[in-house]
Chain A
Amino acid sequence: MFGLGQKRRERPAEPLAPAGAAAERAADAAPAQDHQRLLQRWMALADMQQRVIATLAAEIARTSDFVETEADSLSLRFQRLADSAQKQTSRVDSLTDLAMGIEVEGESVRIEAVAKLFEGTLSEVVAKILLLSKDSMSMVYALDTLGASVQNVGQCNTAIDVINSTLNMLALNARIEGERAGAAGAAFRVVANEVYELSKTVKTLAATMKTEIKAITDGIMTSHDTLKRVATVDLSDNIMVKERLEVLLKALVVRNSGLEVVVADAVRESEAISADVTGMVTGIQFQDRTKQRLEHVVDTLQVIGKALEEIRSSTTREVPELAAATETDLGWIKDLLSRYTMSDMRERFVAQILEGKPVDWGDASAGEGTPSSSGSMELF
């Protein structure tokens, strides 16, 4: 791991015939040198680990900030979405009222009530048409009867004319007989004159009656004709309009019922969406906990980094030769960085870990989440 074993040097082969103290010292010094080299590598590794820890801590802090910013933005958008969903629910809710009825003089009237009112009114109209038709026909029959009676009176008038004519002839004959009788016929002449006067009066009366009866007959005929025109106004089409309107009103009520169902479904769906969005707003608050956890991780990494620095410093102080420059084992670092798919993150790690440069974070969000075009940037 970490390539520590890869750099282990092969121990020199044992001389075939070691001779003397020099040879023994040389033999004792060889393991010490190996240990020193090993410790130097540990020191180099500690230094590298410190850089990695610092870089990781910075990366985590940066990622935490990014998550927080994005989560806040997302939360704000979801909040707006929740508000819109709430308003949409209210609108759909008000649509229910519109679907259920119409507003008349500030009062909501259900479509069923409107249809019932229409139906009731039309029934009344039809009932009145029927009553009008019946009364018209009753009057027609009454006028027919009256006309027949007047006709009978006219016939009586004819009989009166006949009687009057006879009476007139009677008066004339009495007058002739009175004249023929001379003085003795004076009384006859008086009676004849009276009868004649009576005949004239009856004739005048009969003429007046005839005139009046003609006027009555003319009036009846005119009334009959007028009533006929009224009675023959066929209202059957108007009556049948009720049938058509009833069909239309039923269709309207059915459509309204369907609309109510659809709107009720829409209200339910809208409320569900509103609840879901509200839940999302609550759920998006995870970044608070995430940030706290990441802060703990960063804190832990920094403590580890300090511990490493402390042990490295104390080691350098106590054993300065161990701080001598040694070749840093970059194999495992290269392996690690080659796995990074995000170019900006890889660049920051190269700058800070390998080159020891301070990292310019630049725009916190720039490049986040943008995968590198693998292969287009060769760092090593």
Chain B
Amino acid sequence: MNFDFTGNDATVAMSGDFTFTDHAAFLELMNRLFATASVPIVIDLAKVEFIDSAGLGMLLIARDEASKASRQLTLRGPQGQVKRMFAVTRFETLFAIES
């Protein structure tokens, strides 16, 4: 998984596969996102091609952290397998998801 920060580090665009092996990188990514000032956090998933259950679990941890920090977390542009996984797990009831 690769990622690029934009918008004062409050938005990150991920790409590639998002799986268990990315947990260390995702922790770093989260720390950087939550270190920003109190603006909405956006994780852009438009270029993520595959997500496994560990990836979903990491997003849920990010959600918990956002909730603790009273920050809004938005997932943007899921496509393909990621979009289907979100639909099956009804992620729209847990996250704000932008098309």
Contact = CB atoms under 8 A, between A and B. Distances in A.
Contacts of B19: 232, 234
A233 B52 CA distance: 9
Contact of B57 (A126, A134, A240, A242): A134
B23 A141 contact: yes
Contact of A136 (B57, B81, B87, B89): B57
A228 B88 contact: no
B61 A236 contact: no
Given A232-B21, A239-B53, 12 more contacts: A130-B53, A132-B57, A133-B53, A133-B56, A133-B60, A134-B61, A134-B64, A136-B57, A140-B20, A231-B54, A233-B53, A234-B54
B32 interface: no
Contacts of B85: 236, 239-240
A323 interface: no
B54 A138 contact: no
Nearest to A129: B53
Given A126-B89, A138-B61, A240-B85, A144 B54 contact: no
A138 B26 CA distance: 12
Contacts of B56: 130, 133-134, 236
Interface residues of A, number: 26
A151 to B, nearest CB: 15
Interface string A223-237: 000001001111110
Interface in B46-99: 51-54, 56-58, 60-61, 64, 81, 84-85, 87-90
Contacts, number: 74
Given A130-B60, A239-B85, A243-B88, A141 B27 contact: yes
Interface residues of B, number: 23
Interface of A: 123, 126-127, 129-130, 132-138, 140-141, 144, 228, 231-236, 239-240, 242-243
Contact of A235 (B53, B81, B84, B87): B53
A137 B24 contact: no
A138 B58 CA distance: 8
Contacts of A239: 53, 85, 88-89
Contacts of A134: 56-57, 60-61, 64
Given A126-B89, A130-B60, A236 B51 contact: yes
User: Which secondary structure characterizes the binding site on chain B?
Assistant: helix
B19 to A, nearest CB: 8
B88 A137 contact: no
A172 B74 CA distance: 66
Contacts of A129: 53
B23 to A, nearest CB: 6
Contacts of B84: 240, 243
Contact of B88 (A231, A234, A240): A240
Nearest to B57: A133
B60 A140 contact: no
Contacts of A130: 53, 56-57, 60, 89
A364 B64 CA distance: 98
Contact of A232 (B20, B51, B64, B88): B20
Contacts of A133: 53-54, 56-57, 60
Contacts of A137: 20, 23, 54, 57-58, 61
Closest CB pairs A-B (n = 10): A133-B57, A235-B53, A134-B60, A137-B57, A134-B57, A133-B53, A234-B52, A232-B20, A243-B88, A236-B52
